[in-house]
Structure 1
Amino acid sequence: MMNMPKPVVKYRHRIYSSSRPVYEDLRWSQAQDCLVICDSSGAPAVRALLAQPHPERLIVVQLNGGNIPGKDNLLAQASQWIDRAPAGSALLAAGEEPLLCALRRMAWEKGYSADAMILQRTGRALRDTRCAHCHTITSNVAFQAFTCSGCGRVLVVRDHYSIRLGAYIANMMMPEDPMIPEMLETALK
């Protein structure tokens, strides 16, 4: 019998499929340092988390307002913290999906693995979407179909999510499609 060589493992990181992100309830990780971020809808989840025994070194940031007016400022602060954080730090966040997508993308670009991020979606079902035709990203889309802010086409939001872009992909609906009026009024889940 011939000795077969062991297969070589080239990739140790998770393969990221471009599908809908999976969210979970916030919980403490084994990390020594944790950055906990929330918007107003995620505050109850963070309060419940903080009621449990937690790591000594902890940074908590909360945004006010449902439309995330300070999202860019918050992401800049989170970026600085991640740059200074020791290896093995964790990012925990609760809030509406546009904030979570932006945090995931930023942390992923800085080398965080999916295992170092625990994200809980709360609040309204909103999505940042990217038009497959003009490549405009429209923020806070709440319905299955919407009019693109870039090209004016009626688009349908797909469950196809891009971590690189931090957005869901949206494709044009044919103008004669009888489902357009219904989808323009059907909220995302």
Structure 2
Amino acid sequence: MTAPGTDTIFSKPRYRTAASPQPARRRLLVAQDAACAVPLLDHPAPALLLSLGGELAADIQQERFPSPAALYLRLQLLLEQAEVGTRLYVIGDETFVWHVYRLARHAGLLGDEIELIKSGARRRLYCVHCATFQDIGEEGEANCSGCGVRLLVREHFSQRLGAYMGVCLDPSRPYGEDRP
């Protein structure tokens, strides 16, 4: 049973606001913007920060990447070589953190070895009608970029897909504007 006023949607992700005190032999920090990683730096284990933008003046080892693809490739290499006791901390919007989460799980990390911290409003939407992914903000409705159907953004989140489910909002227009 949940307390009154708490979120009761089981599938909706819950994010940390700071790094947990879990022990770690090594920490990998992955951030969309290095400045957002500051709350994760106060920990005694050695850390490596991978980021898409920004730099920190801290005495932490940092690598900055020009594109998400370059960051993901480097992270995959690091995770394949990771020792037992490595923890992964990811901070960014939902689209970013869930992509990194799936990469880490595929590389063999357990869910308990990965901590997600959300910053930003961008999230991923999956159209259940045409299987198109698109990025959206916090809005509750969107037009599918694939099939044109007006979608209701369900609060159901699929960890496997890393996206919220979008279902047809208007059953009298199940094919969108441009189709018969």
TM-score (norm 1): 0.72
Aligned residue in 2 for 1:49: 40
Determine the C-alpha separation between the residues in 2 that align with 1:171 and 1:141: 16
Q: Deviations for 1:132-185, whole angstroms, at most 9, x for unmatched residues?
A: 0000111244421111011010111112122221211110101669xxxxxxxx
Matched, 1:61 2:53: no
Aligned residue in 1 for 2:25: 32
Task: Using the TM superposition, name which of 148-157 and 18-27 deviates more.
Answer: 18-27
| Equivalent residue pairs, number | 154
1:74 is aligned, of 66, 71, 76, to 71
Q: Which AA in structure 1 matches 2:38?
A: R
TM-score (norm 2): 0.76
User: What is the deviation of 1:69?
Assistant: 7.4
2:12 is aligned, of 20, 28, 38, to 20
Determine the C-alpha separation between the residues in 2 that align with 1:159 and 1:99: 18
Answer 1 or 2: which has greater helix percent: 1
Answer 1 or 2: which has greater strand percent: 2
Matched, 1:127 2:123: yes
> Where do 5+ consecutive residues of structure 1 fail to align?
1-16, 178-189
Aligned residue in 2 for 1:14: none
More RCO (CA 8 Å, sep 6+): 1
Matched, 1:149 2:145: yes
Determine the C-alpha separation between the residues in 2 that align with 1:176 and 1:143: 22
> Where do 5+ consecutive residues of structure 2 fail to align?
1-8, 55-64, 174-180
2:160 is aligned, of 153, 159, 164, to 164
**CA spacing shift, 1:53–1:91, aligned 2, 3 Å:** closer
- Are 1:98 and 1:140, in contact at CA under 8 Å, matched by a contact in 2? no
Aligned residue in 2 for 1:12: none
- The alignment-based identity, stated in percent, is 29
